[in-house]
Amino acid sequence: TGSLQNFLNHQKPNPRPQPQSRNLFFPSHPLYFQRTATLSLTPFPLLFSSSTLTLSTYFPLTPSLRSPSPQRVSRDPRRGPMTESPSSEPEPPSPKPRAAAGNGMRLVVPLQGVVQGRGGLILGSLIPCALFYFLQLYLKRHRSPKPPASSSNPPSPSSSSPNLGDLARTSSRSNLLGRGSIVPVRLSSRGMAIAKPNDSPYYVGLDKVAGDPFHRVDNPEGIIQLGLSENTLCFDLIERWMKENLMDSLMGGDGAELSINGMATYQPFDGLMELKVAMADFMSRVMGKGVSFDPSQMVLMAGATPAIEILTFCLADHGNAFLIPTPYYPGFDRDIKFRTGVELIPVHCRSTDNFMLTVTALDQAYNQARKRGLKVRGILFSNPSNPVGNILSRETLYELLDFAQEKNIHIISDEIFAGSLYGTAEEFVSVAEIIEGEEFDKSRVHIIYGLSKDLSLPGFRVGVVYSYNENVLAAAKRLTRFSSISAPTQRLLISMLSDAKFIEEYIETNRKRIRRMYDLFVGGLDQLGIRCAKSSGGLYCWADMSILIALYSEKGELELWDKLLNVGKVNVTPGSACHCIEPGWFRCCFTALAEEDVPLVMERIGKVAEMCKSGH
């Protein structure tokens, strides 16, 4: 099955016309993509169980197999995709095992044409059977390690229904059909993958809050947002700065001549040099220890989201993979995978290690990925970790670097929470500090940073790729043309970041206030009997609510999440959305709360906890 494996994992663009790209209803697992499109041997192309689906991917290899239904693979441009619309209507989502059987039968006939002469019928029947057998075997071997990673993939028919039944779940992925668009003109497969409703509880929760947000006065019964890691604790400081400096920063100071010229015209796409200098300085302050950052190794773009995507585009090809410790930020599944076609291979971390990354787990995941035929191009981790909030130790960082060096792969360190530290026990160490002065090949190291968290300015869309690899920098600079920061915003930030006194005060006050909220919030949970993982940074805590779940499973966890959201009116992020391997953990962001609302949050969570304990 070597060549088959190759074929399955090789996601080269298919140059043939694909009249049935409607397989968009399927999960966005790359194996399913496009290959099924040409399947035309069955009246139920959209309803296969996952095994037959993959079988169908083999068909294009054998041209003669396509012949039985020339009307579907017609090259006649005039027919166009319109001819397919009847078969692409969404069908009732019931699994049809007979489709598989029918499929096998249909294989026999064309294969007889391939296997000529006596015994053709026997061979013709044997070959598909054998093929089918090997595929089952292949699937069994290669698909089992994946489930946690795919839980955010399946389409769900509803984006905001409170019913758990609508929530995507690992096991139910293959028999769910998305809602096909009724328009006959087609979108691309990748477009449709994004058009599907947001099915991850992370997004479902966010949508739900958007529809009914808590407000102490205007909507006291609304949902309290603990699902979005934003920080409003130091807005007063920024507001004050804006009030005092805004006009000057924008217009060139002292109310002098308005200088629209330095903003209106084309500016370097990868950011103004002055902002890079200011940013390098800010990063040094935040990351501490006199780590210095070189502005020329910096590429700026409109947020950390494009930063990580652009970096992924630079480091990995479609079908390659990154290793990523779980639990991880739910947005990565969209931000990294959707357009690049790069896969994320979970490296499972466990509560017994306080969710710390171990090289053993890393090695295991690497080998498994290799077994699946995936090319691993790098390790991506967040430090401080999102969602746990723990910090990688110096030793672990050394081990990670050694591992990357040994495998000759990249290291992507997402340090966007580096300035949002509140712990005292652990110290944060940037990977930049580790590689300084050590014998590491720096060209494999890349850092992601941004101002959305540490300066609480997500609306300003400022992200950073900091790389030690010249070619990555060159490519990333060019790619920023698709995601530049507006010049007036850059001007404003140059002034703000260059105001050393303000920045110092901000960083210090911010840490104190996060710490205070952390103590209040985690203390509140503690009183409810809910413990949190040990953490030192970030705008959230990682709470263990497994004592509240009836079933120790993803289902049990999501039931609790549903109760918290719909009964307790509190939106938290369930661990399964972060691909956590242990059920019952939840990320709770507390930095967008007002202090006086903490008791209310606790009251609401407490109410749900009581319900759970009393068995309701």
Partner 1 sequence: MAIELEQQPKPAAVALSRIAVSETHGEDSPYFAGWKAYDENPYDELTNPSGVIQMGLAENQVSFDLLEDFLERHSEAATWGKGATAGFRDNALFQDYHGLKSFRGAMASFMEQIRGGRARFDPDRVVLTAGATAANELLTFILANPGDALLIPTPYYPGFDRDLRWRTGVQIVPIHCHSSNNFQITESALHAAYDDAVSRGLTVRGVLITNPSNPLGATVQRAALEQILDFAVEKNIHLVSDEIYSGSTFSSAEFVSIAEVLESRGSRHVDRERVHIVYSLSKDLGLPGFRVGTIYSYNDAVVTTARRMSSFTLISSQTQHLLACMLSDEEFTANYVKTNRERLRRRYDVIIAGLRRAGIECLRGNAGLFCWMNLGPLLKESTKEGELALWNLIVRDVRLNISPGSSCHCSEPGWFRVCFANMSEATLDVALDRLHRFVDQYRRTGSS
* Minimum distance, C-beta of residue 179 to partner 1, in the bound complex (Å): 10
CA contacts within 13 A on the Cβ side of 112: 11
Residues 491-510 that bind partner 1 (CB under 8 A): 492
Cα dihedral 292, 233, 558, 556 in deg (nearest 10): 90
Residue in the structure block whose two tokens are 């606790």 = 602
| CA distance to 455, 486, 487, 496, 507, per residue, from 243 (Å) | 17, 21, 20, 12, 19
User: Minimal CA–CA distance to 569: which of 522, 604, 528?
Assistant: 604
Residues 537-596 that bind partner 1 (CB under 8 A): none
Residue 464, beta-bridge partner list: 300, 449
* Minimum distance, C-beta of residue 342 to partner 1, in the bound complex (Å): 9
Asked if residue 148 lies in contact with residue 15, where contact means CB atoms within 8 angstroms, the answer is no
Check binding of 357 to partner 1 (CB under 8 A): no
CA angle in degrees (0–180, nearest 5) for 47-204-348: 80
Residues 11-50 that bind partner 1 (CB under 8 A): 12-18, 21, 34
Check binding of 247 to partner 1 (CB under 8 A): yes
Residues 60-89 that bind partner 1 (CB under 8 A): 75, 77-78, 80-82
Residues 180-239 that bind partner 1 (CB under 8 A): 181, 183-192, 194-195, 230, 232, 235, 238-239
* Minimum distance, C-beta of residue 242 to partner 1, in the bound complex (Å): 6
Pick from 99, 345, 472, 570: which binds partner 1 (CB under 8 A)? 472
CA angle in degrees (0–180, nearest 5) for 48-51-56: 70
Q: Are strands 376-382 and 343-348 parallel, antiparallel or unpaired?
A: unpaired
Backbone angles phi, psi at 465, to 5 degrees: -105, 120
- Residues with Cβ < 8 Å from 468, sequence gap 6 or more? 297, 435, 442, 443, 444, 445, 446
Q: With left for phi above 0 and alpha for psi between -120 and 50, is residue 555 left, alpha or beta?
A: alpha
Check binding of 6 to partner 1 (CB under 8 A): no
Residue in the structure block whose two tokens are 């697992």 = 29
* Minimum distance, C-beta of residue 569 to partner 1, in the bound complex (Å): 21
* Minimum distance, C-beta of residue 317 to partner 1, in the bound complex (Å): 5
Residue 27 or 606 having the CB closest to partner 1 = 27
**Taking contact as CB under 8 A, which single stretch among the options 289-297, 403-411, 505-513, 550-558 is the one that binds partner 1?**
403-411
Q: What is the DSSP string of 313-356?
A: HHH--TT-EEEEEES--TTHHHHHHHHH--EEEEEE--GGGTT-
Residue 271 or 387 having the CB closest to partner 1 = 271
Pick from 129, 258, 547, 550: which binds partner 1 (CB under 8 A)? 258
Alpha-carbon span 256 to 264, nearest angstrom: 17
Residues 409-468 that bind partner 1 (CB under 8 A): 409-410, 441, 443-444, 452, 456-462
* Minimum distance, C-beta of residue 115 to partner 1, in the bound complex (Å): 28
* Minimum distance, C-beta of residue 4 to partner 1, in the bound complex (Å): 21
Helix (H, G, I), strand (E, B) or coil at 573: strand
Pick from 199, 270, 309, 582: which binds partner 1 (CB under 8 A)? 309
Backbone angles phi, psi at 336, to 5 degrees: -90, -40
Residue 15 or 117 having the CB closest to partner 1 = 15
Helix (H) or strand (E) holding 414: strand 410-414
Residue 24 or 507 having the CB closest to partner 1 = 24
Pick from 143, 146, 478, 531: which binds partner 1 (CB under 8 A)? 478
Q: Judged by CB under 8 A, how many residues of this single chain contact partner 1?
A: 94
Residue 96 or 186 having the CB closest to partner 1 = 186
Sign of CA dihedral 515, 516, 519, 520: negative
Pick from 199, 333, 335, 454: which binds partner 1 (CB under 8 A)? 335
Residues 158-177 that bind partner 1 (CB under 8 A): none
* Minimum distance, C-beta of residue 21 to partner 1, in the bound complex (Å): 7
Residues 358-397 that bind partner 1 (CB under 8 A): 377
* Minimum distance, C-beta of residue 470 to partner 1, in the bound complex (Å): 11
Residue 191 or 599 having the CB closest to partner 1 = 191
Residue 444 or 579 having the CB closest to partner 1 = 444
Residue 190 or 534 having the CB closest to partner 1 = 190
Asked if residue 568 lies in contact with residue 227, where contact means CB atoms within 8 angstroms, the answer is no
**Taking contact as CB under 8 A, which single stretch among the options 116-124, 315-323, 498-506, 577-585 is the one that binds partner 1?**
315-323
Helix (H, G, I), strand (E, B) or coil at 53: helix
Helix (H, G, I), strand (E, B) or coil at 126: helix
* Minimum distance, C-beta of residue 452 to partner 1, in the bound complex (Å): 7
CA angle in degrees (0–180, nearest 5) for 447-448-450: 140
Residue 101 or 246 having the CB closest to partner 1 = 246
| CA distance to 48, 223, 524, 566, per residue, from 590 (Å) | 44, 14, 12, 19
* Minimum distance, C-beta of residue 105 to partner 1, in the bound complex (Å): 31
Pick from 223, 315, 323, 344: which binds partner 1 (CB under 8 A)? 315
Residue 147 or 213 having the CB closest to partner 1 = 213
Token duo for residue 358: 């171990």
Backbone angles phi, psi at 214, to 5 degrees: -65, 140
Give the catalytic positions in this structure. Answer: 329, 414, 416, 453
User: How far out from the chain centre does Cα 503 lie?
Assistant: 31
Token duo for residue 67: 């012949």
